[in-house]
Structure 1
Amino acid sequence: MNSKARVRVLMYHKVSVQQPDYLTVTTEQLRAQLAHLRQQQYEFITVQQWLDAWQGTSSLPPKPVLLTFDDAYQTTLTLAAPILQEFGAKATIFVPTAYVGQHSDWDQEAAAPLLSVEALRGLDPGAFELGLHSHHHQNYKYLPAEEMAADLAACLRFFETHQLPFVRALAYPYGGRPKGTLAREAMRRLFREKGIAAAFRIGNRLNRAVPPDPYELNRIDVRGTDSPAAFARKVRWGKWF
């Protein structure tokens, strides 16, 4: 594999036609951002491709970029998917399984509809893969080990019960995970027991092709309040811009 590659992981949430905010990019912004990535010769990968590269069964392109969408908002399908198709892009949707087919109740000021089981099942597997975003969208930073184990088990059970293909990777809700050494190790042990191969924080840094810690992968927070120049700097440098 290309051991010198740096993997950029971009974190998106909502998409809107014309109302950008902290968690929402417009269709115009998304189209311009994907065009910038193509112009700069980045190549879209999936989490599974990255995991396969760790195992030596495949190689990463020279400039890999991974697109992720948290929470499985309906706009990921209705607004983002056609734009991704225009650019031949792939993306990972991290799903909070207790809320599938409902609304994002954690968005207290602007709860939005989420994709149903049928919609998730109908996604083009060549364009989208599904990942874990916990069951109840709770911050793992504050969950006792027993509650975390129950939440993760419920999340996995949802995918298995509904026969939804998924990659065994988790995006921490709110980017949170335990701070204490013992609590952090208990979480890692739980992940290993459940076969979770990777977990994503926020961090806004670039990742090594073979990361030193698969449970501390960094994502770059893409905001609707970012200018085109700010987006370009984030993609190039991560946090250090």
Structure 2
Amino acid sequence: MNRKYKKLTLLMVIVLMIGVLSYNFINGRKAKSHSEKTTKQQVSNTKETSTTKNKNETAQNNEKDREFKDGILKYNDKSVPVIMYHSIDYEAGNELRVPKEKFREQMKYLKDNGYTTLTLGELYNFMSNNKPVPEKSVVLTFDDGYKDNYENAYPVLKEFGFKATVFIITNCIDKDKGFLTSAQLKEMQHNGIDIESHTLNHDKLNELPYDKQLETLKGSKEFLEKLLNKKVKYIGYPYGKCNNDTVKAAKDAGYVMAFTTESGWSNKNQGIYTLNRVYISANHDMKEFERRISNLNYNVSTTTSSKKKVKGQ
């Protein structure tokens, strides 16, 4: 009897141990599976965070100003040619549309002759803080934001490693097929082409009261800042038109530098909110292009010297 009891007890102990081991095994696999899933999710989240961080860092690096120390430098008692383009395409009789072949020839000339293309941040620091820039510096700007800026100009700018700025009419984004899309703007901003404001609707600012000027200047700025996740600090006035209210509105909206279409190289004495630019059209051959970017006084015989100083600068 005792022997049977002992065997029965032993059998029960064995069954109990098997049950405990099975339970631990099953739960261990579940815990391991959950742990692996958690680890994978954590790794995935880390990768996503890292990717987002890297994109943001890349965008920030694109906006960082370079320190120019080598070669012949100049300071802000000198001037810089800020080239103004519009469309890079061909249309018979439309001088605003520079054919892409002509545009590439002009960019190749800049590259072959040792020109440095400045960002607007670098130009601002040159003008306002007297940070030196290379003697042969130039700024490339495009007004309005036509889709051919992406299709025709952007590949050439990338080919030569050039910096540039597009002043975009924000209410045309994703609405007018002739203008740049949100996706194109984001790509360009991420790759060294700065996107800045050209107002909401290409407004003639000097014909608007102060409050309407402020509205369009702030509206376009805020739209681009939200779209591109960056600060928008520069404005190209549509038609180059501005008055004293425009300068005040630009300041109040948060811009730090602005451009007209007044012909000539940019100089701090013009006022940081009314800087000149060098217009390049389809009618200009290479000889004229070279003259305009190499000769500070290229426009003396064709423009008056009676430019009215805008107050508040």
**Taking structure 2 as the reference length, what is the TM-score of the superposition?**
0.66
Partner of 1:214: 272
CA distance in 1, matches of 2:93, 2:286: 13
Pick closer, same or farther for the CA change 1:212–1:176 going to 2, 3 Å: closer
Q: 1:42 aligns with which of 100, 110, 115?
A: 115
Query: Deviation at 1:17?
Result: 5.8
Candidates 156, 159, 162, aligned match of 1:89: 162
Distance 2:190 2:269 in 1: 26
Residue 78 of structure 1 corresponds to: 151
Contact 2:100 2:152 in 1 (8 A): yes
Residue 247 of structure 2 is matched in structure 1 by 188
Summarize the Cα distance change of 1:22–1:166 in structure 2 as closer, same or farther, 3 Å threshold: farther
Corresponding residue of 1:99: 172
State the match for 1:106 in structure 2.
Answer: none
Contact 2:76 2:130 in 1 (8 A): no
- Partner of residue 143 from structure 1, selected from 182, 201, 208: 208
Give the strand-richer structure, 1 or 2. 1
- Determine the C-alpha separation between the residues in 1 that align with 2:235 and 2:105: 28
Contact 2:270 2:276 in 1 (8 A): no
Bigger mean CA offset, 65-74 vs 155-164: 155-164
Match of 1:174? 239
**Number of aligned residue pairs:** 226
1:86-165 matches, within 5 Å, as 86-103=159-176, 113-165=178-230
Structure 1 position 189, deviation (Å): 2.2
Q: Look up the SS of the partner of 2:184 in the other structure.
A: helix
Question: Whose relative contact order is higher, 1 or 2, with alpha carbons under 8 Å and at least 6 apart?
Answer: 1
How far has the Cα of 1:53 moved from its partner?
A: 2.9
Q: CA deviation at 1:141?
A: 1.9
- More deviation, 122-131/145-154: 122-131
Contact 1:131 1:166 in 2 (8 A): no
CA, structure 1 residues 28+168, in 2 after alignment: closer, same or farther (shift >3 Å)?
A: same
Percent of residue pairs bearing the same amino acid type: 25
The question of whether the paired residues in 1 share the 8 Å contact of 2:84 and 2:143 is answered with yes
Closer/same/farther in 2, CA of residues 36 and 75 from structure 1, 3 Å limit = same
**Contact map agreement 1:21 1:224 (CA 8 A) in 2:** yes
Question: What is the rounded CA distance, in whole Å, between the counterparts of 1:102 and 1:164 in structure 2?
Answer: 21
Note the C-alpha offset of 1:126: 4.1
Q: Counterpart of 2:215 in 1: which secondary structure?
A: helix
Question: Equivalent residue of 2:98, what SS?
Answer: strand
Identify the residue that residue 89 of structure 2 maps to in structure 1: 16
Task: Let me know the Cα RMSD of the aligned residues.
Answer: 2.2
User: Which SS does the other structure have where 2:204 is aligned?
Assistant: coil
SS at match of 1:73: coil
Single out whichever of 191-200 and 64-73 deviates more from structure 2. Answer: 191-200
**What's the secondary structure of 2:151's corresponding residue?**
helix
2:290 aligned partner, one-letter code? A
Whole-angstrom distance in 1 between the partners of 2:103 and 2:241: 26
| 8 Å CA contact 1:198, 1:214 repeated in 2 | yes
The structure with the larger Rg is: 2
Q: Residue 197 of structure 1 is aligned with which of 237, 256, 264?
A: 256
Offset of residue 233 of structure 1? 1.7
Distance 1:142-1:8 versus aligned 2 partners, 3 A rule? same
Alpha-carbon shift at residue 32 of structure 1 (Å): 1.0
